Amino acid sequence: MTPSGTHVQGQIKTEADRIVLCGDWTLAHYEALRRLVIAEGQLADNRSLDWRELGELDTAGASLLVDLIGNERCRDLSTTAPDLSASRRALLETVAEAQRQDLDARPRTPNMAVEFLEDVGKRAESIWRQQATLAGFVGLTLTTLASVIFRPQRWRITALAVQIKQTGLDAMPIVALLTFLVGAVVAFLGATVLREFGATIYTVDLVAYSFLREFGVLLAAILLAGRTASAFAAQLGSMKANEEIDAIRALGLNPIELLVLPRVIAMIITLPILTFVGMVSGILGGMLVCALTLDITPLQFVRIIERDISVEHFFVGISKAPVFAFVIAVIGCVEGFKVTGSAESVGEHTTSSVVQSIFMVILLNAIAALFFMEMDW
């Protein structure tokens, strides 16, 4: 130790078997000590350190000693420097830990490939968690439905009637108009292509076949995914943000039974009806185009459908409607329950409900198409 009252600038003495740290390592000598540390560089050899001649030490000097000795070596002072006082050892270890955390927090050089793989991994994990949550909510909904279905006194008839009106009757005009226009477009394109082969009469089969099997249910489901799933998510999300769902639980009521089941059952009832409306409207749109451009009368149009199109195509299309309805309703409700409490969260989960619903409808429709094709239905 240096004599009391003297202030000697810190120095580094290199000997054959040891390195001696002596003098004061304080803020007063910081510039000179920094130049000394830069000149010496980090001590890479394994010679022992002699701390007995070390004078005063503060945080500034400790940061320089950490740079000189190395971060890892400073964190192991309890075994390598027994002659160092506990307070100085604690100071050096704390500074070393702080510098290590600072190095870890520094931005790394961006690597496009690594960032891309990292983003893919995060998205895959997010999708997996999302589907696991959806599967759990589906199970909860089915369990609640099974416990209620044989107890008519617990049915929410008024809520069910309101949801049928909102999801079904209110959506019928837009479904009918959209499918009518799409039917007209399909008939026009079919007539344009088939005219080159002299087979314009088969435009009737094209329109009827496509709307009975695919377009009727698919367009109705996509419209409800955008219109109704978002409404469910926004309604339940607003209730969650206003703590109304917590209030329902506090009253001893089941939110699934009170809020989810009427919406799910209403969708299961209304989507097959809207699908039928979509089928009829699409065929009427095709009939109009055939009458105006191909001179196929409505009576002839109907007779061709009766002759060439079997009723099983109608059942194939209508059978997919309850499945799509259940998936759309459950996704809308589960996204509403995920809202955390802010208006921003309501908007995010409302958007997510629409995207998920449309994606699941198209995915399930593709799987159903492959299944029916393999079954030759």
State pTM to two decimals: 0.68
Lowest model confidence (mean pLDDT) among 42-56, 163-177, 252-266, 322-336: 42-56
Return the pLDDT at 16.
64
CB 67 within 8 A of CB 37: yes
In terms of pLDDT, which residue wins out, 8 or 328? 328
Comparing C-alpha atoms, which of 181, 232, 226, 183 is closest to residue 334? Answer: 232
Which of 218, 149, 229 has its CA nearest to residue 183? 218
pLDDT digits (tens, 9 = 90+) for 58-96: 888 778 777 777 767 776 676 667 667 777 777 777 877
Is the per-residue pLDDT at 267 higher than 90?
A: yes
Instruction: Note whether 186 and 215 are within 8 A (CB).
Output: yes
pLDDT tens across 170-219, in order?
899 999 999 999 999 999 998 888 888 888 888 999 999 999 988 999 99
Residues 2-31 have a mean pLDDT of 70
Report the percentage of the chain scoring pLDDT > 70. 89
Q: Which CATH number describes the domain made up of 11-105?
A: 3.30.750
Q: What is the pLDDT of residues 220-256, one digit of tens each?
A: 999 999 889 999 998 888 888 888 888 988 888 888 8
List CB contacts of 141: < 8 A, sequence separation 6 or more: 256, 260, 261, 264, 330, 333
Domain coordinates of the chain in residue numbers?
A: 11-105, 126-375
- pLDDT above 50 for 3: no
pLDDT at 265: 93
